[in-house]
Each structure stands twice: as C-alpha cells, then as structure tokens.
Amino acid sequence: MVARVTDACIEPRGVACRRCGEACDSDAIRFRPMGGGRHATLIDPELCTGCGACSPVCPVSAITLVAAERLALVEGIAELGRTS
C-alpha cells in the first residue's frame, strides 16, 4: 500500500497543517511551496512504506491508502481531470 493525498488537503488553500508530515517516520511527505503561503502536500511513493500513520491524524480525511500498483492509474486519472 501507498499513501495518497486527495484534493481535500487544506495546505494548498493556505491553511498550515502538516500533521501527516509530523506523523511520518519515513520522511515520505513533503510540502512544496506554491506561493501565497500555500503548499502542495506530496508523498514520495519510493519512501512510503504504507504504514498508515499519516491517515488518522488528518483533520479532513485527505489521505487514503491505495495499492501501489493502482497509484499510477489513480494519479493518471486525476491528471486527466486537471487538464481536460
């Protein structure tokens, strides 16, 4: 399993949270500046062990665990939605 952040995450809206990053012992979660105090919450699938520690601490249930082999498909569909 691999963790995935959904659009429900509040960091890209300028709300400081980062609880998932604090819970991740594998240092798999990064926050990339987007300007204006907003950040993109990114999970490195190479570092994520699928332990699930980041999911219950999220106040808006923005993290889901998906099978590693499904991640590329899910991300591909999300990308199509952004570009169409």
Which positions touch ligand SF4 (CB under 6 A)? Answer: 3, 5, 9-11, 17-20, 23-24, 26, 28-29, 41, 43, 48-54, 57-60, 62-63
Give min distance, CB of 75 to ligand SF4, in A. Answer: 15
Chain-centroid distance of CA 17 in Å reads 12
SS3 31: strand
Query: Which lies closer to ligand SF4 via its Cβ, residue 53 or residue 74?
Result: 53
DSSP, residue by residue, 37-72: TEEEEEE-TTT-----TTSTT-TT--EEEE-HHHHH
CB 31, min distance to ligand SF4, A: 7
